[in-house]
Amino acid sequence: MELFLDPSDHRSLSRQLYDQIREAITDGRLPAGGRLKPSRAAAQDLGVARSTVTDAYTRLAAEGHIEGRRGGGSVVVSHASPRPVRSSVRTALVPTAEAAAVRRYGTDWQPHSGYDLTAGRVDTRLFPLTDWRRCTNRAVTRLARHFGHYGDPAGSIEFRHTLTHWLARSRGVAATADRIVVTHGTGHAVDLLARVLLRPGDVAAVEEPGYPPVTNVLRALGINVVGVPVDEHGLIVDTLPAAARLVHVTPSHQYPLGVTLSGQRRLALLRWASRSGAAVIEDDYDSEFRYTTRPLEPLHRLDRDGRVIYVGTFSKTLSPALRTGFAVVPPGLVSAVTAVRQAVDAGPPALITEALNVFIEHGYFDRHLRRSRKIYAERHHAIRAALSSLSRSRLTVLPSQAGLHMTVLIPDAPDDDELIARAVRHGLGLSSLRLTYQHSEPKAGIVLGFGALSTSDIPRAISLLDQCLH
């Protein structure tokens, strides 16, 4: 641990050292078995006589806090170190009202044992670790001469060129490399775009129900967020507020209801954006996994005014741990978005993005997607079949032909606290539908993720869910 001495302190130098080390031991910052710096090295670092340090160590040893070991220096004694206690230091600092209103969403950071039906999870067993390791090694070799630089805040031009080719053939999105900004994912893209396009107090529209992290990031920026209802055809365009300057929409697979924005609604949304002078963020977070119906054209392809920003992520196709996504930005915004990106966090991690570049270039990504699509399609079919076998007459499974989740409406479901308590007892991880409503009266139900479950486990997991609901 680092030690400090204050020449103006009335205590002797030796006593200051003793007090600091003793306090670190008693509050748990120096755990049992922790080694103290050798007295000669500590004296040299502090610029004092070695005897000053040895006097402090001797007193600590006499009181049983440390002991000297032959060839091992001074070590904290096990019985001298209690369990760490949470700091009770008070502060005069308080968050802004906007920051205080933000709530954490989801439980992705929590480990789960049992049957994980949490929305948004992917199967880590499908991650192509051997191929990824090979691509990472190549990336290190390629980047060796650039390790002293932060890199382009928009992402390397090589990776952005690779993304343009991949977007053109996989999603039908036409873009040039200079219009792509590499991000940490959807939330980060929304944050950057809102900083560039909106002022505090401006109105932004989101789907209701929708993806709470998007609402959270907008609220944290002081934006007035309005929820717009969704029906079986997607976002109800006629209910968009006239004052909205930005709309976030998930047209390919609405989160959480799973519906697809109809062709008529897509054209209506673009007409509304043109009349209102608003921007549209098209969040295409999992369209790679589509099981029956043919996809509709992205809003970005239909846009003639440059009002649509197409946003994607690798969180569902590869892993959320990579924290990598992208935004296809209209030419007039590129400079501002890139500058804000640099100001916020300098730029994307070069090693991750270069590994992804190699991964896509050499065909590993396409191969991984082919395998994943087949497996997730089997799970999509299995979970629909398992849900259809349930006897609950008031349980409604909403149609969904894409992605890694489907939503079940359960009007008589218990409140969230009771539902989660029951789920824990049955060894289930669940996501409540109620939490996705932030602007209106929530509907009761469950957003069922099937990405993390093996196909053979699905019938048992749904059987446990049925017990849980009873």
> Confidence band (pLDDT; 50, 70, 90) for 91?
confident
> Confidence band (pLDDT; 50, 70, 90) for 186?
very high
Query: pLDDT by residue (tens digit) across 172-183?
Result: 899 999 999 999
Same domain? For 268 and 409 the reply is no
Same domain? For 392 and 410 the reply is yes
| pLDDT number for residue 85 | 55
- Kindly state whether residue 2 falls inside one of the protein's structural domains: no
> Confidence band (pLDDT; 50, 70, 90) for 196?
very high
Domain endpoint, select from 309, 337, 365: 365
User: Model pTM?
Assistant: 0.87
The bridge status of strand 224-231 relative to strand 203-208 is: parallel
- Kindly state whether residue 249 falls inside one of the protein's structural domains: yes
- Kindly state whether residue 105 falls inside one of the protein's structural domains: no
Same domain? For 302 and 387 the reply is no
Cα 455–457–370 angle (5° rounding)? 20
Query: pLDDT by residue (tens digit) across 206-261?
Result: 999 999 999 999 999 999 999 999 999 999 999 999 999 999 999 999 999 999 99
- Kindly state whether residue 7 falls inside one of the protein's structural domains: no
Same domain? For 328 and 386 the reply is no
- Kindly state whether residue 87 falls inside one of the protein's structural domains: no
Same domain? For 311 and 209 the reply is yes
Cα(13)–Cα(9) distance, integer angstroms:
8
| pLDDT number for residue 398 | 92
The answer, yes or no, to whether residue 97 has pLDDT greater than 60, is yes
Domain endpoint, select from 328, 343, 365: 365
Cα(124)–Cα(104) distance, integer angstroms:
23
> Confidence band (pLDDT; 50, 70, 90) for 436?
very high
**Structural domain that includes position 54:** 13-80
The answer, yes or no, to whether residue 72 has pLDDT greater than 70, is no
CATH number of the domain enclosing 233: 3.40.640.10
CATH number of the domain enclosing 65: 1.10.10.10
- Kindly state whether residue 202 falls inside one of the protein's structural domains: yes
CATH number of the domain enclosing 422: 3.90.1150.10
Cα(296)–Cα(293) distance, integer angstroms:
9
Same domain? For 146 and 71 the reply is no
Same domain? For 175 and 291 the reply is yes
Query: pLDDT by residue (tens digit) across 8-52?
Result: 999 999 999 999 999 988 888 888 888 899 999 999 999 999 999
Calculate the average pLDDT of the chain.
Answer: 91
Percent of the chain topping pLDDT 90: 71
Q: Classify residue 75 by burial, with Cβ atoms within 10 Å: 0-12, 13-18, 19+.
A: middle
The answer, yes or no, to whether residue 90 has pLDDT greater than 80, is no
Give the residue-averaged pLDDT of 93-106: 83
The answer, yes or no, to whether residue 100 has pLDDT greater than 90, is no
> DSSP letter string over 78-137?
GGG-----------S----HHHHT------TTS---SEE--TT---GGGS-HHHHHHHHH
Same domain? For 386 and 278 the reply is no
In terms of pLDDT, which residue wins out, 148 or 360?
Answer: 360
Residue at token pair 């036409």: 174
Same domain? For 182 and 293 the reply is yes
Domain endpoint, select from 341, 365, 389: 365
Same domain? For 419 and 353 the reply is no
Q: How many domains does the chain have?
A: 3
- Kindly state whether residue 314 falls inside one of the protein's structural domains: yes
Closest CA to 388 of 406, 374, 411, 376: 406
| pLDDT number for residue 300 | 95
Query: pLDDT by residue (tens digit) across 102-132?
Result: 888 765 555 566 899 999 899 999 999 999 9
Same domain? For 284 and 348 the reply is yes
- Kindly state whether residue 90 falls inside one of the protein's structural domains: no
Same domain? For 296 and 222 the reply is yes
